[in-house]
Amino acid sequence: MKAFVPLLLSSTLLFGCSHQEATAPESKTATASQPYQSITTQEDTSQWWKSAIFYEIWPRSFQDSDGDGSGDFKGMTNKLDYLKDLGITGIWLTPVFEAPSYHGYDFQDFYNVESDYGSMADFEHFIQESHKRGIKVILDLVLNHISDKHEWFIKSANKVPGYEDYFIWRDDRPADWGQAWSPKPNPTAVWHWNETRKAYYYGAFGGTQPDLNLAKKVVVDELNKLATFWLKKGVDGFRLDAVRYAIEEGKFPLQADTQGTLDYWTAFTQHVKSINPDAMLVAEAWTGLDIVGKYRNNGKGLDSAFDFDFGYIVIDFLNPKAAKSADFGTLSTTGLKQNRENLWMNLQNRKAAAPMTYFSPFLTNHDQNRIMHTLENDMAKAKIAASVLMTTPGTLYMYYGEEIGMSQFKTGDDQYRRAIMQWSEENTAGFNTTGNFWLDQGKWFPWVKDHKGWWADYWKTLQGTGNSVAAQAADENSLYNHYKRLIKTRNENTTLMYPDEIRYYPVDNVDVWLVENISEKGTNWVVVNLNPTQSATFTVPKALQGTRKELLTGSKKTMGASVTLKPTETLVF
Ligand SMILES: [Ca+2]
Ligand SMILES: [Ca+2]
Ligand SMILES: [Ca+2]
């Protein structure tokens, strides 16, 4: 649905533009006759993931069924009803293949599940039980690199015939290479000595995670085979790690986003679709949206990609001071407005880079400090973040614990971002019945001398203060119930998922985020007071005036000529 404005059309005609240029005018500023700015989109809405809300689980921290301190498949299966009740329709599992590390991003065996998490039968049961509840499951796939303990690497180091080029070897260390995300040469960071082969190998993420040689057909075929294996187990797709670094074509900038890399992912997508046309691939390409959009390759490439900008801009207006120091990789902060304009800019950038719903917005993931920590444990701000996430278009992702505002003990190590899920107010937080916690077991942190556990002590400081699922479920005003209402509303309104047109009303109070989503199914208005402490009075656009059912509360609400929103108040019509 498109609403063209005569004023704009006439100014376009003044310059004698061609028909092509005149087909999609977009207003730059709102005017009295058109008090909104508008984006129109044409979305393919037939694919299941376009309406999905994914929940990222860190399996080791979610639920421990046997009490050994590590979460497991049976534990996750026990919690599927919880996720269904929350309204989740997809699960992203961080790595579940056998690996030596606690995090699993260094695969040792592609064809076996992580033994700490249970058996293959436990895994298959988890998939079946998820599907029974209408929940899809995608696995985390790291194809750029594998563990240096994987047999391929050992064979390659020993020059076993056929395996010589599985990795990227050099006799001399190339002096001008460096980390793929930094223009500074730093050859020792990426070229690692191997004593067996007496040569250097490339490992963008360190010596224990050597890069595979994805320019070699036999390697590509092996990785396609492993994708086939898991698709046949019934998984619904993959979250693809570090896609930007697949194929290097030389020193920086040819270590990232190369043509070879784009082609590799397009070919991988085609392979996956040949096995299961409904499987979904979502890319972790941690960079600007214009580059991220390229991985779509005009519909032949990846299905979706994370919108890393989204969480950043939310933090930028909720806690600008934290945004300045937040670790958001290479994202440029130029142009951020520290207010609602951020959100509008993000939608425009998504639209400019690809069909808008190619992008998967989220607040934070396992590689970032938890949003609640970055928002300084301010529950009001967390509610605003939830409101803007759950009403934005695209496939949405949330990180386990975000629904209860899980924070973190401290910063400085990834483990603090990946802590035990807080289910109940018990001493074990409902994680298990033994009080064993992997975070307190030194064996997972071999690089730490005299590892001291911290989680059990940290939990004691939180216990009894409303930081668990159980406590928040019992409180109508909790963040958890706010999320639940938002998710339900989104799941019931496809216009929120993939509008044909989004109208942004820059009303006379900068704290008010007001958009009208329009599709052939109807209209959904979203009104959010972005201020966590102050009420916000604004002049209501004529089109919104009147009495409607407010979807989060289910009750009728009248919007007069002027309305005052309470701090954080969110209305969806
Ligand atoms: Ca366990
Ligand atoms: Ca293991
Ligand atoms: Ca690579």
Tokens read off for 431: 């994680």
Ligand 1 center to residue 107 CA distance, Å? 20
Residue 298: is it exposed, middle or buried by C-beta count within 10 angstroms (0-12/13-18/19+)? exposed
Tokens read off for 399: 């990180």
Ligand 1 center to residue 54 CA distance, Å? 23
Which among 392, 375, 427 is positioned nearest to 502, based on CA atoms?
392
| Three-state DSSP state, 110 | strand
Distance of alpha carbon 13 from alpha carbon 20, whole angstroms: 12
Q: What is the mean pLDDT of residues 353-380?
A: 95
pLDDT value at residue 325: 61
* Residue with tokens 């693809």, as numbered in its chain: 240
Instruction: Read off the pLDDT of residues 253-267 as tens digits, 9 standing for 90 and up.
Output: 999 999 999 999 999
Name the closest ligand to CA 177.
3
Name the closest ligand to CA 98.
2
Ligand 1 center to residue 435 CA distance, Å? 12
Distance of alpha carbon 271 from alpha carbon 268, whole angstroms: 5
Band of the pLDDT at 133, cuts 50, 70, 90? Answer: very high
pLDDT value at residue 183: 86
pLDDT value at residue 522: 93
pLDDT at 565 over 60: yes
Positions annotated as catalytic residues are: 241, 284
Ligand 2 center to residue 116 CA distance, Å? 6
Q: How many residues does the chain have?
A: 573
* Residue with tokens 């009295």, as numbered in its chain: 32
Question: β-pairing, 522-529 with 570-572?
Answer: antiparallel
* Amino acid code (one letter) for 443: K
| Three-state DSSP state, 349 | helix
Tokens read off for 560: 């007069």
Distance of alpha carbon 385 from alpha carbon 375, whole angstroms: 10
Ligand 1 center to residue 98 CA distance, Å? 15
Ligand 3 center to residue 211 CA distance, Å? 5
- φ/ψ region of 176 (left if φ > 0, alpha if ψ in -120 to 50, else beta) reads alpha
pLDDT at 5 over 50: no
Ligand 1 center to residue 151 CA distance, Å? 27
What do you get for the CA distance between the two ends of the chain, in Å?
19
Q: Which contacts qualify for 564-567: CB closer than 8 Å, 24 or more apart?
A: 564/535, 564/536, 564/537, 565/512, 565/527, 565/529, 565/535, 565/536, 565/537, 565/538, 566/529, 566/535, 567/380, 567/529, 567/531, 567/532, 567/533, 567/534, 567/535
Q: How far is CA 16 from CA 6, 7, 199, 536, in A?
A: 15, 15, 64, 44
Name the closest ligand to CA 247.
3
pLDDT at 520 over 70: yes
Instruction: Read off the pLDDT of residues 38-50 as tens digits, 9 standing for 90 and up.
Output: 999 878 888 999 9
Angle between helices 341-353 and 308-318 (to 10 degrees): 170
pLDDT at 24 over 70: no
pLDDT at 16 over 80: no
Write a three-state SS string for 40-56.
Answer: ECCCCCCCHHHHCEEEE
Task: Residue 34: count other Cβ atoms within 10 Å of its Cβ.
Answer: 16
Tokens read off for 385: 């973040």
Q: What is the mean pLDDT of residues 164-180?
A: 95
Strand partners, 137: 91
Q: Considering the chain, what percentage of its residues have pLDDT values greater than 90?
A: 86
Q: What is the mean pLDDT of residues 109-137?
A: 97
Instruction: Read off the pLDDT of residues 217-276 as tens digits, 9 standing for 90 and up.
Output: 999 999 999 999 999 999 999 999 999 999 999 998 999 999 999 999 999 999 999 999
Band of the pLDDT at 14, cuts 50, 70, 90? Answer: very low
Tokens read off for 285: 């390409």
Name the closest ligand to CA 431.
1
Q: What is the mean pLDDT of residues 497-526?
A: 96
Which among 90, 87, 60 is positioned nearest to 75, based on CA atoms?
60
| Phi, psi for 32 (deg, rounded to 5) | -60, -40
| Three-state DSSP state, 194 | strand
Q: What is the mean pLDDT of residues 100-124?
A: 95
Ligand 2 center to residue 108 CA distance, Å? 8
Name the closest ligand to CA 70.
1
Q: How far is CA 460 from CA 234, 425, 456, 474, in A?
A: 40, 10, 6, 21
pLDDT value at residue 550: 98
Task: Residue 445: count other Cβ atoms within 10 Å of its Cβ.
Answer: 17
pLDDT value at residue 320: 83
pLDDT at 20 over 60: no
Tokens read off for 478: 């909790």
| Phi, psi for 350 (deg, rounded to 5) | -60, -50
| Three-state DSSP state, 176 | coil
Mean per-residue pLDDT over the chain, rounded: 92
Distance of alpha carbon 427 from alpha carbon 435, whole angstroms: 7
In sign, the C-alpha dihedral spanning 255, 261, 262, 263 is positive
